[in-house]
Structure 1
Amino acid sequence: MDQDKNTIEFYERLKKQLEEDTTWPSPYLFKFIVPANLEKIAEIRAIFDATDAEINTRDSAKGTYTSVSIKVTMQSPDEVVKKYLEVSSVEGVISL
């Protein structure tokens, strides 16, 4: 996975902030926006398959995009960053 410098710095800051602010394991809320495409949503669901994830979706007003909220217990900041990186491989996804 080829990452630019800004992306690497972002995830390093996120990891540090999570280490300082959270006791692990802890529930974590991931939020993504994807084009309204069942295959893309299924790809994201598959990434969280082996977890206790509670996944909610909501279509945009025009139906062009779908927001995906995933509440899941994460074991560490490293695991959070790993999931963000896995989801970033889904074409068209925006992480919030």
Structure 2
Amino acid sequence: MKDTFDRQAFKDKLEAQTIFPTLYMFKFIVPNGSESQVAALLPNNKMTLKHSSKGTYVSATIKAMMPNSDSILDIYEKASKIEGVISL
């Protein structure tokens, strides 16, 4: 069963709780070896990695200046195309 993502509800929440532009923290969990795909989402920003205890997954955190809610949603949409990604 695949969860559906309510883009408009998330956008509304972002706009209600955030003053743009803002420094936004993206967090993703991906299979080990997929870090470069996550880094490509925001190539001009520093990415912090933390490997799982068994080394099968990597937690990636990227902080980036985002001009508006649509830019944040676009990053999550691109990330959803990475196989095995979990967006937090």
- TM surpasses 0.5: yes
The alignment partner of 2:4 has SS state of helix
What aligned pairs does 1:44-59 form with structure 2 within 5 A after superposition? 44-49=38-43, 51=44, 53-59=45-51
2:11 to 5, 9, 15: 15
The reply on whether 1:6 has 2:4 as its aligned counterpart is: yes
Q: CA RMSD in A?
A: 1.5
Q: For residues 43 and 28 of structure 1, do their structure 2 counterparts lie closer, same or farther at Cα, with a shift above 3 Å needed? A: same
Question: What amino acid is the match of 2:35?
Answer: I
Question: What amino acid is the match of 2:72?
Answer: V
What aligned pairs does 1:27-66 form with structure 2 within 5 A after superposition? 27-37=23-33, 40-49=34-43, 51=44, 53-66=45-58
The reply on whether 1:75 has 2:67 as its aligned counterpart is: yes
> Which consecutive unaligned segments of at least 5 residues does structure 2 have?
none
* Cα-to-partner distance string for 1:43-96 (whole Å, 9 max, x where unaligned): 1111211x4x22100000111100000111000000000000011111111101
How many pairs align? Answer: 87
Question: Which protein is richer in helix relative to its size?
Answer: 1
Structure 1 runs (4+) deviating above 6 angstroms are none
Q: Please give the TM-score of this superposition, normalised by the length of structure 2.
A: 0.91
Q: Please give the TM-score of this superposition, normalised by the length of structure 1.
A: 0.84
